[in-house]
Structure 1
Amino acid sequence: MKTKLKAGIVGAGNIFRTAHAPALANHPEVELVAICDPDANKAKARAEELGVPLAHVYADYRELLRNHPELDFVDIATPNAFHSEIAVAALDAGHHVFVEKPDAVDPAQAAAMAEAAERSGKLLMSMRNNRFRPAVQFLKKLADRGYAGDIYTGRCGWTRRRGIPGKGGWFTTAALSGGGPLIDLGVHFIDVAIWLMGDPRPVSVTGATYAKFADAVISDSVHSAFGEKKADGIFDVEDLATGFIRFDNGATLQIEFSWAANVEEEANFVELRGTKAGLHYRRGEAKVFTELEGTLVDVIPKLPKDSGGHTEHLHHFVDCLQGRAKPINTPQDGIDMIRILSALYESARTGAEVKL
Structure 2
Amino acid sequence: MSKLRIGVVGVGNIFKHAHLPSWLSHPDAEIVAVCDANQQAAQKLADEHGIAKIYSDYNDLIASDEVDVVNVCTPNLYHSVVSVAALQAGKHVFCEKPDAINPDEAVKMAEAAKASGKVLMVMRNNRFRPVSDFLRTYVDKGHMGEIYTGRCGWVRRRGIPGKGGWFTTKELSGGGPLIDLGVHMIDLAIWIMGNPKPVAVSGSVYTKFAGNDLNDSEHGAFGEKKTGGTFDVEDLATGFIRFDNGATLQLECSWASNVENEGRFIELRGTKSGFSLFNDDLKLFTEIEGTLCNVIPQLPKDSGGHKSNIHHFIDVVQGKADPIFLPEQGVDMIKILCAIYESAKLGREIRLD
Query: What's the TM-score, normalizing by structure 2?
Result: 0.98
* Residue matched to 1:59: 56
Partner of 2:21: 22
The aligned residue for residue 13 of structure 1 is: 12
Q: Which amino acid aligns with 1:96?
A: H
Matched, 1:40 2:39: yes
Matched to 2:3, the amino acid is K
8 Å CA contact 1:25–1:50 kept in 2: the answer is no
Q: Is the 8 A contact 2:72 2:83 kept in 1?
A: yes
Does the 8 Å contact 1:40/1:59 carry over to 2? yes
| 2:250 equivalent to 1:251 | no
Secondary structure, aligned partner of 2:22: helix
2:328 counterpart of 1:329: no
C-alpha offsets along residues 229-286 of structure 1, whole Å, 9 cap, x if unaligned?
Answer: 0111110000000011111111110000000000000000110001111022211232
Q: Secondary structure at the match of 2:258?
A: coil
In 2, are the aligned partners of 1:84 and 1:109 still within 8 Å (CA)? yes
CA contact (8 A) 1:133 1:284 kept: no
Deviation at 1:323, TM superposition (A): 1.3
Residue identity matched to 1:22: P
Mind listing any 5+ residue stretches in structure 2 that lack a counterpart?
none
1:139 deviates by: 0.6
Q: 2: distance between equivalents of 1:109 and 1:130?
A: 23
Query: Could you tell me whether the CA contact under 8 Å between 2:286 and 2:293 is conserved in 1?
Result: yes
- Inter-partner Cα distance in structure 1 for 2:221 and 2:251: 24
1:129 to 122, 125, 131: 125
Structure 1: which 5+ residue stretches go unaligned? none
Alpha-carbon distance in 2 for matches of 1:287, 1:69:
50
Q: Distance in 2 between matches of 1:250 and 1:77?
A: 36
Which has the higher mean CA deviation after the structures are superposed, 40-49 or 314-323?
Answer: 40-49
For 2:282 and 2:318, the matched residues in 1 are separated by 32
Mapped partners of 1:124, 1:225: distance in 2: 29
What is the one-letter code of the residue matched to 1:286?
A: L
Which amino acid in structure 2 is aligned with residue 59 of structure 1?
A: S
Q: Could you say which residue in structure 2 is the equivalent of 1:299?
A: 295
1:201 aligns with 2:197: yes
Q: In the alignment, what sits opposite 1:225? A: 221
* 2:2 equivalent in structure 1: 3
Instruction: Quote the offset at 1:298 in angstroms.
Output: 1.4
Matched AA of 2:310: L
Q: Identity over aligned residues, as a percent?
A: 61
Partners of 1:303 and 1:134 in 2: CA distance = 7
Residues 272 and 286, structure 2, Cα contact 8 Å, conserved in 1: yes
2:223 and 2:308 mapped to 1: Cα distance? 23
Match of 2:183 in 1: 187
After alignment, is 249-258 or 42-51 more displaced? 42-51
Q: Give 1:306 deviation, angstroms.
A: 1.2
| Paired residue secondary structure (1:291) | strand
In the alignment, what sits opposite 2:101? 105
* Conserved? CA contact 2:61–2:67, under 8 Å: no
Residues matched between the structures, number: 352
What SS is found at the alignment partner of 2:74? coil
TM-score, L = length of structure 1: 0.97
- Output the CA distance in 1 between the equivalents of 2:44 and 2:137: 42
Q: Deviations over 1:290-327 (max 9, x none)?
A: 11112221111111231240000000000111111110
Counterpart residue identity of residue 311, structure 1: K
Partner of 1:90: 86
Give the distance between the partners of 1:37 and 1:191, measured in 2 at CA.
29
Rounded to whole Å, the distance in 1 between the matches of 2:66 and 2:115 is: 19
Q: 2:94 is paired with a residue of what secondary structure?
A: strand
